[in-house]
Amino acid sequence: MKSMTGYGRAEITLPEFHGVIELSSVNKRGFEFLLHGPKEWQFFEREAQKLIRSSVERGRIRLSILLQPQAISAENPSRDQEARVGDKLDELKKICLSQDLPYSPSVDLIQRILTSGSREPVVPSLDSIEDILIDKTTIALNQMVSMRGKEGDSLAKDLRKRAYSLGEIVHSVEKNTEGLAREWRDRLLQRLKESGLDINCDDDAVRKEFTVYAEKSDVSEEITRVRSHLEQFEEGLHAKQPIGRKLEFIVQELGREFNTLGSKSLTPTISNLVIEAKVEIEKIREQVMNLE
| Each residue's pLDDT tens digit, 225-257 | 999 999 999 999 988 888 999 999 999 999 999
What Å distances lie between residue 81 and 86, 114, 247, CA to CA?
Answer: 8, 7, 61
* Average pLDDT of every residue of the chain: 84
Does the pLDDT of residue 276 top 90, yes or no?
yes
Does the pLDDT of residue 279 top 70, yes or no?
yes
Residue 73 binned pLDDT confidence (cut-offs 50, 70, 90): very low
pLDDT of residue 275: 94
Taken in order of first residue, the domains within the chain and their CATH numbers are 6-71+127-147 (3.30.230.70), 79-116 (no CATH), 151-288 (no CATH)
- Taking the C-alpha atoms of residue 86 and residue 91, their distance in angstroms, rounded to an integer, is 9
Does the pLDDT of residue 81 top 80, yes or no?
no
Q: Where do runs of H (alpha helix) occur along the chain?
A: 44-53, 79-98, 107-116, 126-177, 180-194, 204-217, 220-237, 244-263, 268-288
State the pTM of this model.
0.70
State percent of the chain over pLDDT 70.
Answer: 79
| Each residue's pLDDT tens digit, 129-187 | 999 999 999 999 999 999 999 999 999 999 999 999 999 999 998 888 776 666 666 66
pLDDT of residue 75: 47
pLDDT of residue 178: 74
DSSP for 56-121?
A: --SEEEEEEEEEEEPP--SSS--HHHHHHHHHHHHHHHHHHHHTT------HHHHHHHHHHT--PP
